[in-house]
């Protein structure tokens, strides 16, 4: 941490800061700058540094305080130099999948679970095209209270039925901590939605389980906030976290969100956790999903999560951004050609879509 | 709702859309534009329009679909032309305050409750300066899991002690639905923090109570999302919601957030709910709090929520943005002179700060 | 400037950076941090520090490089502790006005000059209401090449006619350096529009004149970029620059831009240059102009620039955001009551509006 | 265009709007909505629609006015359904290159021209790696007036020398219209920099030439503004415009800008003009350039513009984002493997880098 003093800070102000630094256990180190003095904190003290930044910022004569190291430790690549690989699909009915390695992991399925026919049908279709996980929402976060809110527990059961039929592990979202036990029973991967990325209470509950977590980036969250949110889950002892970029909110309005493609290499550099991208939410328009999916994989993503619906015009949510099974299959063929260019493999498609 | 067809959409595509519109119960109305056809939906049908927009967007030949009326009904000024006024401070120890009328309501206190001496001391100080509610966090949402997370239930009890000592009604934040009963017992106003603005599960729980709610705008939320979040609370039957602008996330980095001052007149036009502003979080720097507080009141806010700490350099959270009691008192004097210019009144200060 | 080394940077990498620092003439100063080394540059060397940041960033083992002092010198309050006051209206026909002092300066007039009747009529009206400068565009920057582009030289002459009739000094925009001589002949204040804020070539030309400059902030420009743009004008020897906040581009879409009200106190702290706000462009809607104008003055602005049109529905540009003369007059009455609360004065209105 | 009336607009207000619409020559068409009336404008009238939107917005009883068709015509794909292909490199010394077709066009070179050895050396190196155009700045737009501003005319001559030595056509930036003739003499492609994207005066001058234009997107410009800026050039009769995405300004601060990868498929859908991406400026960090370059090509870009410097640590500008020649060569090898996956070709590298 460094403390930058204001230009013209008095000797008394500097002396006070030095004394306060000493009181924390750090050794203060004054850089005698010509324009401004800068005080560095040396040593290793077990103290909340984020809070310290805030506190030193209030002292008289201080211009600003900066952390030199990241505020997240568990999510940082410094403590885990190698990329993390782990298995998904611990449920007996599931076929296991490894994320974080050379396997390109594609999770696909409908935004919302709507019926057995729909979810089992889509599961077969996406599996045939080469997807290895099934996504589907039973509890849906909707901007309006008047919109369809999901099938709830019945939806979870239908996802389990689809898993039994296809072997695809299931990714589904949690919204309410009261549903934790039920979701842990049915899901192979628990999704934390973008709007709950800083629902710290929910992050803690999920961190206490040992079910892998797909953490979606909040549309207004910086990469550093995103990693701190992951830190909440990791701090509970659950170290199997997948980070999901799904678009950020910007001034651009030709798409629903702006895909932060830069975040792919940034995250791969800063953390050992696997990174996937959701082109469906990040664009909001199925016409743009294939381009952005290809871009994500070429840019280094470990996987994708894509909305697929048998009949998007009848979807109860987010139909506009859903691919039809045949469009998804065409995309998967392109991804299969792309994968080896970036040293990845994508599962071969099943013999037929029928 | 209007459906804009693509340039060159075929007659069959138009006919299909028309047929689908009829199936919903609306009457389709085709504007024979030269470049593009536009189909309007007439009539009043009890159906989820947000979902309908999404569904029609997927039809072949459709360029885009637009809602003409707002997706929120309960929060809209169209159904409540007059500004809403209601009382805060129903607890027997509290002195009642009316928000939404000519009274300028100032809520003040520490970011986090830290000790009885701290919170009772601040309560007396802010009351002496003219504040009429006490704010203070017992459960704290912190970006890092390694930061101080609040005193919890003990903090709630200290807030009650401060209320008993001063008569100031208490505003405090809820993070976990499991704490709802305890918070309802102690709080006069339940705060939903910015990061939980779209924690729809929490909004529903709070909407089922009858305790007034202070809903903070998410840093990445549009005004329309903000009103939809309020709609969740209103939909549960709890109609006493106060909207709080607290800064949005933008590219500007000289302040922590960007105060959206435009949102004050925009919200006053679109909703009947009272609107307050939090200059402490919206700037992140106590040096800027007085200017922005003055701006908010001159711009039409119904009140303010301001962080005040007896010794910001010792605060366990957000010290940099906290005013000292004497700085707060100076600001209140300026606000007292400003209030009548915008047809408001601010409570006279107590006889002395001692 | 400080250079933060990567965690695990080798001794050779540190030694190389130290040697490169010495080569610049600065004295390197190593903070032996536990996690990362930080090298501070001491001494005062006449060198382009922005470029140096960039260069040191490329060295092996360097994590990042940070400037401790601002990259702008001439615009910084450190070199000019007192707010700058200067006179506007040097043309013989103009009544002089002082900006930067206790006088609240209101510039008002149409977006575009359209006819003699229009501009002279508005000039009389805004003067009667208490405005002390006339704004009006002769050369118009329009997003579309198919939109009205302004009257050009004829527009300048009509502005001069209005000045002769009312004594109001004239503010008008330059777009093309080829027009510089003509604009200097007619204008009392040259406006650099928001889209040209980083047209560095134009800034240089204007910096070589001695005509006061109204520099509008670019909608995508940070405060630090804004001050660097002012630095271009100041570097040419023209020190009379007025900074104008006019809204930034954000994700919020209920208004055309987001007024950055925080920028008012931020700029007042960082620079000695006067600061005004343009509520017309910053909101894009005349319904919100009065609130935001009041907020700006309460927040510390030295003045306002407001669009007024006799018949906004017939305006050739930006009619939606223009006030009618009577609406402007009502606003001025409110501002006149507000001014003394913030230790400002606003000129009394003329005897009658007729 | 449609005009949405306010809820509760009076019959007289509707009648007035109808009358005004008729006065423009359009036929008004009233949709008798239940909540709000919507008036559509039918027919084809040669009138500035952007201005009309603004004007109708001011009428009493009007809620908002929306354009149904895009305000740009010449840049729209509707008038040019096929992608535009054209040749670059008309100078006798240049080897011609076709952009907009199957050839993947890579422009590479230093940010600033610094010396003959530097620019000729880089030209040979990037050609050897497979680049087909040379980029280099002679006139540099720098945020600070105290930074290196480029070599000017001497820089242009060095670029010509490099072209003579390698056959690579030259891309260079114009800042001042006074330099137009000189730049047209030396450049094969004139670059309009991001900060001048809405320097409409400069766009007009360049539109009057017949030299191909590389138009960079402004960091705060929407896609629609970007296309309107291209419209300015096209309106002058110069139809050879290349659009360049180079990152937009957002709240994310882990990279200098946020690459708007969505803009690639959006632009390819909305316009026939070729689209390239600049990963150097869009990330600001050479560590992220390869990932984002790969993403852009996989996402559908027609080409790339990349900064390459023989010794980034000695670059006079933007060294941090420059690749070294060997890093560039590695990237080109990856792009060469990627190209056929998206039906593109990339020129084979020369026999050796020596």
**Residues A109, A132: Cα–Cα separation, whole Å:** 11
Do C131 and C108 contact (CB within 8 A), yes or no?
yes
Of B220, B288, B338, the CB nearest to C298: B338
Find all residues with CB under 8 Å of D235, minimum gap 6, and list them. Answer: C145, C146, D74, D207
State pLDDT tens for residues D141-186: 888 887 778 899 999 999 999 999 999 999 999 999 999 999 999 9
What is the mean predicted confidence (pLDDT) over D79-96?
94
Is the per-residue pLDDT at A18 higher than 80? yes
Choose from C257, C261, C279 for mutation: most chain B CBs within 10 A.
C261
Domain boundaries, chain A: 2-66, 86-342
Residue in C248, C338, C330 with CA at minimum distance from that of residue C297: C338
Q: State residue B351's pLDDT score.
A: 53
- Is pLDDT above 70 for B33? no
**B57 within 8 A of B6, measured Cβ to Cβ:** no
Residues 153-192 of C with CB under 8 A from B: none
What is the distance of C-alpha C35 from the center of its chain?
Answer: 42
Decide: A213 and A183 in contact? Cβ < 8 Å. no
Instruction: Name the band, by pLDDT with cuts 50, 70 and 90, for residue D354.
Output: very low
Q: How far is CA B220 from CA A220, A248, A287, B94, B158, in A?
A: 4, 9, 25, 34, 33
CA A346 to chain centre: 21
The CA R_g of chain D, rounded to the nearest whole Å, is 23
Of the two residues B35 and D347, the one the predictor is more confident about is: D347
**Residue B212: left (phi > 0), alpha (psi -120 to 50), or beta?**
beta
pLDDT per residue over C37-57, tens digit each?
888 887 777 777 777 888 888
Q: What local confidence, expressed as pLDDT, does residue D34 receive?
A: 64
Looking at beta carbons, which residues of chain C come within 8 Å of A250?
Answer: 251
d(CA A98, CA A21): 47
Which residue in D292, B110, D261, B249 sits closest to A225, CA to CA?
Answer: B249
pLDDT at residue D44 greater than cutoff 90: no
Please give the helix or strand (H or E) that residue A159 lies within, else none: helix A153-166
pTM over 0.90: yes
- The CATH code for residues A2-66 is 3.30.70.1140
Q: Is the dihedral of CA C171, C172, C175, C180 positive or negative?
A: negative
Contact between chains at A2 and C2 (C-beta distance less than 8 A): yes
Distance from CA of C341 to the nearest CA of D (A): 33
Angle at CA B297, nearest 5°, toward B295 and B303?
130
- In chain B, residues with a C-beta closer than 8 Å to the C-beta of A319 are 54-55, 57-58
What does the pLDDT look like over C159-172, one tens digit per residue?
A: 999 999 999 999 99
Residue A170's pLDDT is: 98
Q: Which residues of C111-149 are buried (b: 16+ CB within 10 A; e: fewer)?
A: bbbbeeebbbbbbbbbbbbbbbbbbbbbbbbbbbbbbbb
Give tens-digit pLDDT for B199-230. 999 999 999 999 999 999 999 999 999 999 99
| Those residues with Cβ within 8 angstroms of residue A49's Cβ, 6 or more apart along the chain or in another chain | A1, A67, A69, A71
Identify which has the larger pLDDT, A32 or D299.
Answer: D299
Query: What length does chain D have?
Result: 354
Element (H, E) at A16: helix A11-24
Instruction: Give the model confidence (pLDDT) of B99-156 as tens digits.
Output: 999 999 999 999 999 999 999 999 999 999 999 999 999 998 888 887 778 899 999 9
3-state secondary structure of D170: strand
Q: Summarize pLDDT for B229-240 with one digit per residue, the tens.
A: 999 999 999 999
Which residue carries 């102690």 as its tokens?
B186
Of residues C236, C299, C66, C249, the one with CA closest to residue C143? C249
* Interatomic CA distance for residues D216 and C236, integer angstroms: 28
> H helices then E strands: how many in chain A?
11, 14
Is the predicted pLDDT of residue D65 greater than 90, yes or no?
A: no
Q: pLDDT tens across C15-35, in order?
A: 998 998 898 888 888 876 667
Three-state secondary-structure class, residue D200: helix
- Per-residue pLDDT of B284-294, as tens digits, reads 999 999 999 99
Q: With bands split at pLDDT 50, 70 and 90, how would you rate the model's confidence at B269?
A: very high
Give the Cα separation of A305 and A176 in Å (integer). 22
Average pLDDT over residues A38-54: 79
Tokens standing for B341? 């210019």
Q: Does the pLDDT at position C327 exceed 70?
A: yes
Quick check: D99 pLDDT over 60? Answer: yes
Question: Is B146 near chain A, with CB under 8 Å?
Answer: yes
Any chain D CB within 8 A of the CB of C320?
yes
User: C68 to chain A: which residues are within 8 Å by CB?
Assistant: 4, 33, 35-36, 38
Summarised one tens digit per residue, pLDDT across range B163-205 is 999 999 999 999 999 999 999 999 999 999 999 999 999 999 9
Classify residue C48 as exposed, middle or buried by CB count within 10 Å of its CB (0-12, 13-18, 19+).
middle
The pLDDT value recorded for residue D47 is 79
B251, B255, B300 ranked by CB distance to C262: nearest: B255
Q: Which residue has the higher pLDDT, A46 or B3?
A: B3
List C-alpha distances in Å: A201 to A140, A206, A215, B141, D35.
Answer: 18, 9, 14, 8, 41
The answer to whether the complex's ipTM is over 0.85 is yes
Structure confidence by residue, pLDDT tens digits, B68-78: 777 788 898 88
- Model pLDDT, residue D80: 86
Provide the H-helix boundaries in chain D: 11-24, 49-56, 116-129, 153-166, 180-186, 200-207, 223-235, 263-270, 279-283, 289-298, 325-338
In CATH terms, the fold of domain D86-342 is TIM Barrel (3.20.20)
d(CA D111, CA D137): 6
Per-residue model confidence (pLDDT) at position D143: 80
Cα separation values, B162 from B123, B127, B181, B214, C166, Å: 6, 11, 20, 20, 61
The tokens for A197 are 């990325």
Contact A249 C251 (CB under 8 A): yes
pLDDT at A354 over 50: no
pLDDT in tens, A150-192: 899 999 999 999 999 999 999 999 999 999 999 999 999 999 9
**What mean pLDDT do residues C273-294 have?**
97
Q: pLDDT tens for residues A281-299?
A: 999 999 999 999 999 999 9
Rounded-to-integer distance, Cα A67 and Cα A51, Å: 11
When scoring C7, C26, C30, C31 by the number of chain A Cβ atoms within 10 A, the one with the most, hence best to mutate, is: C31
Strands C2-5 and C38-42: antiparallel
Residue C23, phi-psi category: left (phi > 0), alpha (psi -120 to 50), beta (remainder)? alpha
Exposed e or buried b per residue across B246-280, where buried means at least 16 C-beta atoms within 10 angstroms of its C-beta:
bbbbbbbebbbbbbbbbbbbbbbebbbbbbbbbbb
The pair of structure tokens assigned to C140 is 């118009």
Nearest to B38 among D4, D32, D68 (CB): D68
pLDDT at B34: 64
CB B104 within 8 A of CB B303: yes
C171: β partners: C135, C189
Q: How confident is the model at residue C352 (pLDDT cuts 50, 70, 90)?
A: very low
Cα separations in angstroms, A112 against A22, A122, A159, A310: 56, 12, 10, 12
The phi, psi pair for B221, rounded to 5°, reads: -105, 135
Average pLDDT over residues D117-140: 96
pLDDT of B8 over the 80 cut: yes
Lowest mean pLDDT among A23-32, A168-177, C95-104, C324-333: A23-32
In three-state form (DSSP H/G/I as H, E/B as E, the rest C), the secondary structure along chain C is: CEEEECCCCCHHHHHHHHHHHHHHCCEEEEECCCCCCEEEEECCCCCCHHHHHHHHCCCCCEEEEECCCCCCCCCCCCCCCCCCCEEECCCCCCCCEEECCCECEEEEECCECCCHHHHHHHHHHHHHHCCCEEECECCCCCCCCCCCCCCCHHHHHHHHHHHHHHCCCEEEEECCHHHHHHHHHHCCEEEECHHHCCCHHHHHHHHCCCCCEEEECCCCCCHHHHHHHHHHHHHCCCCCEEEEECCECCCCCCCCCECECCHHHHHHHHCCCCEEECHHHHHCCCCCHHHHHHHHHHCCCCEEEEEECCCHHHCCCCHHHCECHHHHHHHHHHHHHHHHHHCCECCCCCCCCC
Q: Give tens-digit pLDDT for C84-95.
A: 999 999 999 999
Split at pLDDT 50, 70, 90, the class of D71 is confident
Alpha helical stretches, state H, chain B: 11-24, 49-56, 116-129, 153-166, 180-186, 200-207, 223-235, 263-270, 279-283, 289-298, 325-338
CB D200 within 8 A of CB C144: no
- The DSSP bridge partners found for residue C137 are C112
Q: What is the 3-state secondary structure (H, E, C) of C249-293?
A: CCCCCCCCCECECCHHHHHHHHCCCCEEECHHHHHCCCCCHHHHH
10 Å CB burial of residue B79 (0-12, 13-18, 19+) is exposed
Q: What is the pLDDT of residue D83?
A: 95
Rounded to the nearest integer, the mean pLDDT of chain A is 92
* Whether pLDDT at B59 is above 60: yes
Q: How far apart are CA B193 and CA A54, in angstroms?
A: 20
Region C202-219 average pLDDT: 97
Judge: C146–D219 Cβ closer than 8 Å, yes or no: no
CB A171 within 8 A of CB A155: no
Structure tokens at D193: 């920099």
Which of the pair, A115 or D45, is modelled with greater confidence?
A: A115
Residue D161 confidence (pLDDT): 98
- Indicate the pLDDT class of residue B6, thresholds 50, 70 and 90: confident
The C-alpha atoms of residue D200 and residue C244 are separated, in whole angstroms, by 21
Sequence-separated (6 or more) residues with CB below 8 Å from residue B279: B259, B288, B289, B290, B292, B293, B296, B304, B306
Mean pLDDT of chain C: 92
pLDDT at A125 over 60: yes
Chain mean pLDDT for chain D: 92
From chain A, the residues in CB contact with C40 under 8 A are 31, 33, 38
- Tell me the nearest-neighbour CA distance from B267 into chain D, angstroms: 15
Chain segment A230-245, per-residue pLDDT in tens? 999 999 999 999 999 9
D13: pLDDT strictly greater than 50: yes
Give percent of chain D above pLDDT 70: 98
Average pLDDT, stretch B325-340? 97
């Amino acid at each position: 941490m460094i403390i930058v003093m204001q230009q013209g800070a008095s000797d008394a102000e500097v002396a006070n800061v030095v004394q306060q630094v000493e009181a924390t256990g750090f050794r203060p180190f004054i850089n005698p700058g010509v324009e401004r003095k800068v005080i560095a904190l040396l040593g290793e003290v077990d103290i909340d540094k984020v809070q310290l930044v805030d506190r030193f910022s209030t002292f008289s004569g201080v211009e600003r305080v900066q952390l030199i190291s990241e505020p997240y430790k568990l999510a940082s690549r410094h403590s885990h130099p190698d990329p993390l690989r782990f298995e998904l699909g611990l449920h007996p009915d599931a076929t296991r999948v490894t994320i974080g390695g050379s396997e390109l992991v594609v999770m696909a399925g409908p935004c919302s679970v709507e019926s057995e026919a729909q979810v089992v049908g889509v599961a077969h279709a996406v599996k045939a095209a080469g997807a290895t996980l099934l996504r589907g929402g039973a509890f849906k976060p909707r901007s309006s209270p008047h919109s369809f809110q999901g099938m709830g527990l019945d939806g979870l059961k239908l996802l389990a039925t689809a898993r039994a039929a296809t072997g695809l592990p299931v990714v589904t979202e949690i919204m309410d901590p009261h549903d934790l036990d039920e979701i842990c029973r049915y899901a192979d991967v628990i999704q934390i939605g973008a709007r709950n990325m800083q629902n710290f209470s929910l992050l803690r509950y999920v961190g206490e389980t040992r079910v892998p977590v797909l953490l979606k980036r909040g549309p207004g969250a910086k990469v550093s906030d995103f990693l701190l949110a992951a830190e909440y889950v990791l701090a509970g002892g659950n170290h199997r976290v997948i980070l999901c970029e799904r678009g950020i909110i910007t001034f651009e309005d030709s798409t629903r969100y702006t895909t932060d493609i830069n975040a792919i290499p940034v995250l791969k550099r800063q953390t050992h956790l696997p990174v996937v991208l959701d082109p469906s939410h990040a664009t909001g328009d199925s016409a743009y999903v294939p381009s952005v999916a290809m871009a994500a994989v070429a840019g280094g993503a470990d996987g994708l999560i894509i909305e697929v619906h048998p009949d998007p015009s009848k979807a109860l949510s987010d139909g506009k951004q859903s691919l039809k099974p045949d469009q998804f299959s065409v995309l998967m063929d392109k991804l299969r050609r792309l994968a080896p260019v970036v040293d990845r493999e994508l599962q071969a498609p099943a013999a037929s879509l029928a």
